[in-house]
Chains A and B, each alone.
Chain A
Amino acid sequence: MHEYGVALEIAETALKNAGGRRLSKVLLRIGDLSGVFAESLTMYLDLIFREKQKEPVTIVAEKVPARFKCACGAAYSPDKIFDPCPSCGGFDRTVIDGKECSIESIEIEDA
């Protein structure tokens, strides 16, 4: 729902870092628990970049699966968010990975 706003922010950061040179690729990391839907984000980014420069930008969204750390010490990636800890069967857990929504790197070329 709010992916357009997120896309605007990513586009701004990417173009600022490109410093006027042609942006060819943007690499993102999108966690399963980030609340951002990677496919819509990519769609909006594509639209935004088309307005900003003639050449298309390749957008790669690497998805990061959820990973929890249980109170018993075990770390695990659940298949479903409701899966209990495979070691102790408990639910007292903190999120290690999966909340990220970040722009990792960009590639630029001479225009």
Chain B
Amino acid sequence: MPDSIKISSNIHAANDIVANQNRALFAERDIAVLNMIGSPGSGKTSILERMAARWGASLAVITGDIQTTFDADRLKRAGATAIQIETGGSCHLSAAMVQKALSGMNLDNKKLLIIENVGNLVCPAGFDLGESQKIAVLSVAEGDEKPAKYPALFTRAAAVLINKVDLLPYVKFSIDRVREDCFKLNSRVKIFPLSCTTGEGFKEWMEYCEMVESKKVF
């Protein structure tokens, strides 16, 4: 007869422990943290560049890509305090990668940290990094059925940024459909149509970030 051993251990437990250590550090330093998740090319870095113009070096950014420091370089040029994680192949950031990056970042006088996750609508949604909120980024050229096809992210995201609305005349995309589907997955979600090209929607989006920063929304 084989012996049976009860384990009942959550596989994500190891990641969750480190995520909670990150969360404790953010609380101690009074920093609000957004985990930004979207497909490659949806415009995550472009959105952060526009935000850097408003926040300057007080905006801290950790960017995750499989290879290159291109995005951190872009954001430093835009004025933000940025650090790059090269995952070397991993399709998502883990809490431990963020913890390591934080050890090389000066958090003095920072109130808002945005983590640009690896471009991917799927895997990053499942890994807590210690953030205050997850933010989904979807651009109009990707199609309006994506929340329905990738519900895990859109169920967990506090806000959805619909980027590249300047391209709406050229693509078939219904913002109403996205709104409807997102509300079904999370009735408290906030939706922000944006364009990095024209600057449309950034006033509202940055006001939201200020509310997150001053802990008026969690």
Contact = CB atoms under 8 A, between A and B. Distances in A.
A102 B13 CA distance: 9
A101 B90 contact: no
B123 A1 contact: yes
B11 A103 contact: yes
Interface of B: 2-12, 14, 90-92, 120, 122-123, 125-126, 148, 151-152, 155, 181, 183-185, 187-188
A24 B2 contact: yes
B7 A13 contact: yes
Contacts, number: 84
Interface in A71-105: 81-82, 84, 90-93, 95, 100-105
A10 B8 CA distance: 11
A106 interface: yes
A106 B5 contact: yes
A5 B5 contact: no
A26 to B, nearest CB: 9
Contacts of A34: 126
Interface in A24-44: 24-25, 33-36
A61 to B, nearest CB: 12
B16 to A, nearest CB: 11
Contact of A100 (B7, B10, B14): B10
A31 B88 CA distance: 28
Contacts of B125: 35
Nearest to B148: A82
